[in-house]
């Protein structure tokens, strides 16, 4: 049995940000294996959400997060414990109703009323069930301190770098924290030791990009920019929880001020978050309006950010990156003292950096869909070696995303045969099976045969 915790976002105002995660879990996890720990708003009827024209229920978001809207019957059947919002009254009073400051406290330190609530709930649930782990999409020290008391692992998850639709969907998986307070650096050091004791072939950046690109995204055919900038800043939305709690004191404005003190303004370009509304950031001289982040990356000699995941994508494209805040990618960051340094190929393409990129891609990050596979979660809870985890994920990607998918069959089967069944043709040739699915207008398309 697992617990899935969803923090009330911004305390009372909205919870719809996490509705896609919530509905995805209701869809993919077995009802009898998860208890949901949420405030009451998560359980609104589907009709009520639809009446609000909720953006998170649009077809676009459903495709992006790969979920379907559950039935009201599913909502009724799910196990749940409701978090009373009155718990946060004292916190709001203490912060003079500053909800950003209130959220920062919840993200970075235990909040006594919430700890007491968790104590009560965990005591009851541990008596009733064998609790294997707790899921949370946000850091919650109040939750972590109680889970630790009962020796229950807390599984922190979030959408990771390389978002659809140009790349495969990846996610973070971390027992320590998400975005901030992560185990990425400790994990890398462990992975590096395992690698040094049992060397194996690491993938180049180009091979990683080729493996994880999708929808015919031609990463090598990004247009050559007309103008190159010495540095590009990837900014985030002002109320991003990573900026609120894990920015090391930086804001987007302070980041721009830092760059202006080091570079001529004509050598700087910034890429705003699509939801940015601050006038100071929108009026900067050079603003990138590229549709794809890679086009922005291509315009810059190096990339700087507080903790945007654009940094990882930039590293894959061989750019020096500077990360000012807490981030799992900070192991890739160059020293801030080298901000004006002219980097060459040898500075960037080192074995150490290659190990870090491979670790982040195939150990720290996981395929998004595996977040919702309890058998995979149980495999992770068995604490496999990190090099074994690397090989597991790499094999998974190769099997799922290979360009010419085939399924190996018994070599003693007949060398060649064609079968017609359910409007499919199955071709067996030299021990391999390839399925052709007949589409409309008699067009054939190669499809993987399970």
Higher-scoring residue by pLDDT: 159, 223: 159
Q: What angle do CA 151, 154, 156 make, to 5 degrees?
A: 165
| Mean pLDDT of the chain, nearest integer | 84
One-character DSSP codes across 186-199 = HHHHHHHHHHHHS-
Report the pLDDT value the prediction gives residue 366, as an integer from 0 to 100. Answer: 94
The pLDDT-based confidence of 11 (bands split at 50, 70, 90) is low
Q: Is 156 helix (H, G, I), strand (E, B) or coil?
A: strand
pLDDT higher at 273 or 319: 319
Token readout for 19 is 């509705």
H-type alpha helices, 247-308: 252-262, 279-282, 293-298
Say which range, 2-16, 40-54, 259-273, has the weakest mean pLDDT: 2-16
Q: Across 41-50, 159-168, 349-358, which has the greatest mean pLDDT?
A: 349-358
Higher pLDDT, 166 or 27: 27
**Which DSSP symbol is given to 244?**
H
Mean pLDDT of 340-344: 90
Q: Which of 247, 253, 248 is nearest to 270 (CA)?
A: 253
| Residue 408 pLDDT > 80 | no
Q: What's the whole-number mean pLDDT along residues 33-50? A: 88
* Residue 79 pLDDT: 95
Task: Give start and end residues of each alpha helix (H) in 129-183.
Answer: 141-149
Task: Flag whether pLDDT at 418 surpasses 80.
Answer: no
The answer to whether 83 and 8 have CB atoms below 8 angstroms apart is: yes
**Neighbour-count burial for 163-186, b at 16+ CB within 10 Å, e otherwise:** bbebbbbbbbbbbebbbbbbebee
Q: If pLDDT is split at 50, 70 and 90, which confidence band does 155 have? A: very high
State residue 1's pLDDT score: 94
- In angstroms, the CA 220 to CA 223 distance is 9
Taking domain 216-363, whether its CATH number is 3.40.50 is answered by: yes
Q: Where do the structural domains in the chain lie, given as residue ranges?
A: 2-152, 216-363, 408-447
- The reported pLDDT for the residue numbered 440 is 41
Q: How far is CA 303 from CA 248, 323, 341, 361, 397, in A?
A: 18, 9, 13, 19, 28
Q: Kindly report the CA angle at 393 between 389 and 394, in degrees rounded to 5?
A: 115
More confident residue, 328 or 406: 328
pTM: 0.84
Name the helix (H) or strand (E) containing 19.
helix 19-28
Q: How far apart are CA 417 and CA 135, in angstroms?
A: 48
DSSP single-letter state for residue 382 = T
234, 256, 338 from 231: Cα distances, Å:
10, 11, 12
Instruction: Please check whether residue 263 is in contact with residue 231, taking contact to mean a CB–CB distance below 8 angstroms.
Output: yes
**Cα(278)–Cα(257) distance, integer angstroms:** 15
Asked whether the CA dihedral 90, 95, 96, 99 is positive or negative, the reply is negative
Give, rounded to a whole angstrom, the gap between the first and last alpha carbons of the chain.
30
- The per-residue pLDDT for 45 is 87
Confidence of residue 443 (pLDDT cuts 50, 70, 90): very low
Tens-place pLDDT, residues 230-288: 999 998 887 777 888 888 889 888 999 999 999 999 999 998 877 666 656 667 788 88
Q: Which residues contact 447 (CB under 8 A, 6 or more apart)?
A: 405, 435, 436, 437
* Band of pLDDT at residue 196, cut at 50, 70 and 90: confident
Banded pLDDT at 346 (limits 50, 70, 90): confident
The token duo for 173 is: 């998986």
396, containing H or E segment: helix 386-401
**What pLDDT does 282 receive?**
66
**Confidence category of residue 152, pLDDT binned at 50, 70, 90:** very high
pLDDT digits (tens, 9 = 90+) for 86-138: 999 999 999 998 888 888 999 999 999 999 999 999 999 999 999 999 999 99
DSSP-derived pairing of the beta strands 34-38 and 2-5? parallel
- Cα separations (Å) of 173 from 109, 224, 397? 21, 35, 17
Q: Is the dihedral of CA 279, 282, 284, 285 positive or negative?
A: negative
What pLDDT, on the 0 to 100 scale, is given for residue 280?
62
Over pLDDT 90: what percentage of the chain?
Answer: 53
State mean pLDDT over 373-383: 94
Mean pLDDT lowest among 173-182, 228-237, 356-365, 407-416: 407-416
Residue 63 DSSP symbol: H
From its phi and psi, is residue 217 left (phi > 0), alpha (psi between -120 and 50) or beta? beta
């Amino acid at each position: 049995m697992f617990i899935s915790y969803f923090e009330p976002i911004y305390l009372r105002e909205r919870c719809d940000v996490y509705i896609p995660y919530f509905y995805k879990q209701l869809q993919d996890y077995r009802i009898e294996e998860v208890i949901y720990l949420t405030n009451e708003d998560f359980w609104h009827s589907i009709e009520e959400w639809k009446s609000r024209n909720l953006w998170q229920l649009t077809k676009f978001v459903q495709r992006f997060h790969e979920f379907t809207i559950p039935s009201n019957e599913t909502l009724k059947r799910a196990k749940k414990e409701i978090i009373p919002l009155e718990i946060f009254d004292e916190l709001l009073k203490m912060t003079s109703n500053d909800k950003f400051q209130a959220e920062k406290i919840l993200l970075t330190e235990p909040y006594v009323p919430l700890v007491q609530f968790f104590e009560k709930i965990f005591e009851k649930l541990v008596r009733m069930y064998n609790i294997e782990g707790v899921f949370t999409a946000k850091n919650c020290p109040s939750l972590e301190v109680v889970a630790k008391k009962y020796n229950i692992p807390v599984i922190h998850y979030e959408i990771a770098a390389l978002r659809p639709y140009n790349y495969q969907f990846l996610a973070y998986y971390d027992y320590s924290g998400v975005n901030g307070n992560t185990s990425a650096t400790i994990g890398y050091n462990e992975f590096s030791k395992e690698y040094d004791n049992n060397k194996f072939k690491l993938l180049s950046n180009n091979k990683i990009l080729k493996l994880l690109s999708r929808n015919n995204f031609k990463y090598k055919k990004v247009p050559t920019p007309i103008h190159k900038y010495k540095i590009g800043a990837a900014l985030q939305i002002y109320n991003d929880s990573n900026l609120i709690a894990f920015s090391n004191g930086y804001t987007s404005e302070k980041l721009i001020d830092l760059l202006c003190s080091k570079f001529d303004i004509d050598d700087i370009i910034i890429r705003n978050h699509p939801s940015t509304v601050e006038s100071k950031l929108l009026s900067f001289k050079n603003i990138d309006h590229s549709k794809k982040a890679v086009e922005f990356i291509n315009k810059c000699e190096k990339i700087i950010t507080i903790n945007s995941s654009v940094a990882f994508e930039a590293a894959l494209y061989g750019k020096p990156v500077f990360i000012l805040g807490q981030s799992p990618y900070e192991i890739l960051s160059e020293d801030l003292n080298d901000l004006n340094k002219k980097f060459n190929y040898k500075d960037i393409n080192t074995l150490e950096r290659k190990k870090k990129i491979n670790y982040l891609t195939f150990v720290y990050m996981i395929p998004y869909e595996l977040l919702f596979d309890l058998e995979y979660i149980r495999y992770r809870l068995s604490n496999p070696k990190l090099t074994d985890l690397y090989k597991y994920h790499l094999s998974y990607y190769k099997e799922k995303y290979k360009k010419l998918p085939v399924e190996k069959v018994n070599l003693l089967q007949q060398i060649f045969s064609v079968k017609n069944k359910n409007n499919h043709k199955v071709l067996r040739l030299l021990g391999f099976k390839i399925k052709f699915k007949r589409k409309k207008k008699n067009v054939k398309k190669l499809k993987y045969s399970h």
